[in-house]
Chain A
Amino acid sequence: GAVVSQHPSWVICKSGTSVKIECRSLDFQATTMFWYRQFPKQSLMLMATSNEGSKATYEQGVEKDKFLINHASLTLSTLTVTSAHPEDSSFYICSAEGGTTSGRELFFGEGSRLTVL
């Protein structure tokens, strides 16, 4: 089946620094990718929809200047957490729509755990 890969899987950084997370569709092209955030023992929260070649669509309450999304190619979307602070520590998950023999479905990356000290 289709595979979505995230990198890094775990990152620890100092407060005030920026961190980039990559989301790649390995064997299919994805014009649309989605970024989610998950706090411990909580559900997923959709942060933004990443559209190839255009600006991302952010959900209400998500700071677009804080969470920069770039979808430069059909196989890569990046999320940059700028000037990270401890409250940004979370599990970030991307997903992409891909086709299978059963039809189209949503595939998820392995997730990236961000810890800001």
Chain B
Amino acid sequence: ELKVEQNPLFLSMQEGKNYTIYCNYSTTSDRLYWYRQDPGKSLESLFVLLSNGAVKQEGRLMASLDTKARLSTLHITAAVHDLSATYFCAVGSNYQLIWGAGTKLIIKP
């Protein structure tokens, strides 16, 4: 059974700091996704990672995938308040996704 664990579940940090969110999964899978969700809203796709060693960057966010370790990271560089949201990783095949619990990120000015 595929399980997805995110760490940490909650994170409060100051603007300008760096931090990493971790996503571990239990069995091999085709692809790994990162999504952002603002309160009361639906999900926004951030990254899709398909292969070992994949690294993608968009602005202050960078995601990487290590399929051997079954680990993905979402790194936040020089955080700004606008990045406050809940971030989910999800793993699966054919879009039948198993979701992590989410990491609620609060960035204080």
- The segment out of B14-22, B62-70, B75-83, B93-101 that lies at the interface is B93-101
Q: Is A110's CB under 8 angstroms from B45's CB?
A: no
The secondary-structure label for the interface of chain A is strand
**Residues in chain A near residue B106, CB distance under 8 A:** none
Is B95 within 8 A of A43, CB to CB? no
User: Is A84 on the interface with B (CB-CB < 8 A)?
Assistant: no
A106 cross-chain contacts in B, Cβ below 8 A? 33, 45, 95, 97
Kindly state the separation between the CA atoms of A43 and B42 in the bound complex, as whole angstroms. Answer: 12
Residue in B42, B48, B96, B102 with the greatest tally of chain A CB atoms within 10 Å = B42
Which residues does chain B contribute within 8 Å of A93, judged by CB atoms? 42-43
Which residue in chain A gives the minimum CB-CB distance to B6?
A: A43
Out of A44, A97, A113, name the residue touching B95 (CB < 8 Å). Answer: A97
Interface residues on A, range: 20 to 34
Q: Which residues of A contact B25 (CB under 8 A)?
A: none
**Given A42-B101, A43-B101, A105 contacting B48 (CB threshold 8 A):** yes
Residues on the A chain within 8 Å of B44, using CB: 108
Asked if B95 and A95 sit within 8 Å, CB to CB, the answer is yes
Contact with B along A67-108 (1 / 0, CB 8 A): 000000000000000000000000001010100000001111
B34 interface hit (Cβ, 8 Å)? no
Tell me which residues from 33 to 68 in chain A have a Cβ below 8 Å from any Cβ of chain B.
34, 41-46, 49
How far is A45 from B98 in the complex, measured between Cα atoms in Å?
A: 8
Whether A46 pairs with B97 at a CB distance below 8 angstroms is: yes
Q: Hey, which chain B residues are within 8 Å of A45, CB to CB?
A: 99
Residues of chain A with a CB closer than 8 A to B35's CB: 108
Task: Give the chain B neighbours of A49 by CB distance below 8 A.
Answer: 96
Q: Which of B33, B42, B100, B101 contacts A110 (CB 8 A)?
A: B42
In the complex, the 5 A-B pairs of residues with the closest C-beta atoms, listed nearest first: A111-B42, A43-B99, A108-B43, A44-B99, A108-B42
Which positions in B face A, CB cutoff 8 Å? 33, 35, 40-45, 48, 88, 90, 95-102, 104
Show the binding face of A for B, using Cβ within 8 Å: 6, 32, 34, 41-46, 49, 93, 95, 97, 105-111, 113
